[in-house]
Chain A
Amino acid sequence: MFPDKQKFIVFSVLCIGFLSYSGYLYSHLPFSKSNFSASEAQGKALWQKHNCTACHQIYGLGGYLGPDLTNEYSLRGSSFIQIFLKTGNTTMPNYHLSETEILQITDYLKSVDQSGKSDPRKFSINANGTINQ
């Protein structure tokens, strides 16, 4: 049986490693500059308020009832998005959003679109099993 001292040492080393990794990630976020304007930030708040992620995905994370919207802005354009937000469809309820709210959510989706590509066809696969965007 391992002595308790060894267990404490292993536990401490792991915890220090975890806290260091966490601290490093907090201080080295992938994007150092804010990409949200006031309108986009408000759009994100509306996205959360109506729980859009229950049905839609961003970067493949979210519900599967609706499509991934990461690059919907560049694929379909703002008018297409705004029509859906205005009327809903068979599955999506009409949230009775104001014109301003519709613009804010569209702005948010524009900023998401500009953050990267989520289409898996665009990824390249390396021989060691890793991927590149």
Chain B
Amino acid sequence: MELSISKAKFTPKVFILVALILLTAGMLFGTIGGLQYIVPGFLKEALSFEKTRPLHVSSVLFWILFASMGAVLTYLKEHTGNKLFSNRLSQILFILFVASVIAILIAYCFGVFGGREYWEFPPILSTPIIIGWILFLLNFIFSVGTLKNQPVYIWMWLTGIVFFLFTFSESYLWLFPYFNNHVVNDMNIQWKSYGSMVGSWNMLIYGSSIFLMTKISGDKSYAYSNKAFILYFAGLFNLMFNWGHHIYTLPTQHYVQYISYSVSMTELLILGNIIYGWKASITKAQKYFNRDAYRFLVAADVWIFLNLVLAICMSIPAINVYTHGTHITVAHAMGTTIGINTMLLLAVCYDILKDTCISLDPYQKLMKFGFWLANSSLFAFWIALIGAGILKSKWQMSSDQIAFSLMMQNLTPFFIVFMISGALLLIGIVLAIYPLFKNHLACFLTEKTGPLN
């Protein structure tokens, strides 16, 4: 490992490799969590659900962050045609983030939590993340130099980096008594920050996928077009103002609901539109050459459509009343995190980690099988969550509610499908990414070009 992060050998590819390890770990923790739904008390003493859930959530969110950082730094280098402003800053960023992830995951295992809903860990561990992110921002700004005549993905990356820093810091306002003195005040600001934070890493991912599509098509015109910028600004508008759909049922000011409802969630449609427009311009030969990465972009297209329908429904308060607090919300979160973000990032991973030391051709069947297994399992997983959500919604609205534990028992068939499909999803993703690891292991062992060159 000293070799891999030494100054001479360090490249942003290490972010991608760590990201893939975190993705695998995150899905493994998710599978254990799924098992705890159908076998009550499973690992209750050693690894109870209040540990497995944050282990799963943080591993998956750090997969997104590491892969996004790796993608931005790699593609930024390709875009400028030069080296980054500072390789050393990237190294420090990498070390700070790896140290944070290790500390956070160990803290969970010892039962040390931040105790916040969604993404939580002891607040002190956010310090290296904030410092690392500031270095990331500085490296980006000095590498790009100017925003004049820049394509849309540069704007998206800058926006994503700046807004992640803002919203991540904002999510710690609860440490001040002024914000933490009332549960509703606290939750109001918490979900303002989280809602926009998701939009910020979406900017990093979508910007990277636009860069990748530019690379695949060989046509840069779209990235500079008016349409691309209109869609980008529409996405930014959503990032800033549509977070309120998370808290429609919270007793907060009504204007939060009205603003979020009217702004609505159109960002996913925006990306679908961008990708769709590009597909038509790619020749069959180009598609074949980039087939591994392209396959995942096509899968993301399908998931964008499915989740867009769900997102639009959930952004209507009158429907949100029925879906809020049910597994339909989880279906949306999983559909966007795995179906869209993960598929897009896997496309980027394939592009960045493609065959450098061994040919991936002998693994084509395996990778295709992994791809189809992952996507079909994800579909079953998604449907099972929606099914469980519909039944829970019916229970929530019922005038003669049965006990919570009985309602959960009734959902067991859905949880079984959810758990099995989750395990198959894990297997599918591992099969799909295994050749990428094998390639880099070969590079490392032969020291042909070095795994990180």
Q: Which A residues are closer than 8 A to B by beta carbons?
A: 1-2, 4, 7-8, 10-11, 14, 17-18, 21-22, 25-26, 28-31, 33-36, 44, 47-55, 57-68, 90-91, 93, 111-112, 115-121, 123, 125-126, 129-131, 133
Contacts and interface: CB of A to CB of B under 8 A. Distances in A.
Which interface class (under 10, 10 to 19, 20 to 34, 35 or more) fits B?
A: 35 or more
B148 interface: yes
Contact of A111 (B148, B179, B183, B326): B183
A58 B188 contact: no
Interface in B275-321: 316-321
Contacts of B320: 131
Contacts, number: 186
B330 interface: yes
A131 B325 contact: no
Contact of B49 (A35, A63, A126): A63
B9 interface: no
A93 B325 CA distance: 23
Interface stretch (B33-41, B124-132, B426-434): B33-41
Contact of A52 (B115, B187, B224): B115
Contact of A65 (B36, B184, B188, B252): B36
8 contacts: A14-B233, A30-B185, A51-B120, A53-B115, A54-B50, A59-B250, A61-B325, A65-B49
Given A1-B225, A48-B114, A130-B261, A54 B404 contact: no
B399 interface: yes
Contact of B149 (A4, A49, A57): A4
A50 B240 contact: no
A66 to B, nearest CB: 8
Contacts of A58: 117, 183, 187
B248 A131 contact: yes
Given A31-B182, A123-B321, A60 B249 contact: yes
Among A17, A28, A54, A123, max chain B CB count under 10 A is at A54
Interface of B: 36-37, 40-41, 44-45, 48-51, 53-54, 111, 113-117, 120, 147-149, 155, 170, 173, 177, 179-185, 187-189, 191-192, 224-226, 229, 233, 236-237, 240-241, 246-254, 256-259, 261, 316-322, 324-327, 330, 392, 396-397, 399, 404
Contacts of B182: 29-31, 33-36, 115
* B contact patch SS: helix
Contacts of B117: 53, 58, 61-62
Contact of B249 (A2, A123, A129): A123
A91 B40 contact: yes
A88 B134 CA distance: 43
A22 B193 CA distance: 10
Most chain B CB atoms below 10 A, which of A17, A28, A91: A91
Given A31-B182, A120-B324, A61 B191 contact: yes
B330 A4 contact: no
B60 to A, nearest CB: 15
A23 to B, nearest CB: 12
A91 B236 contact: no
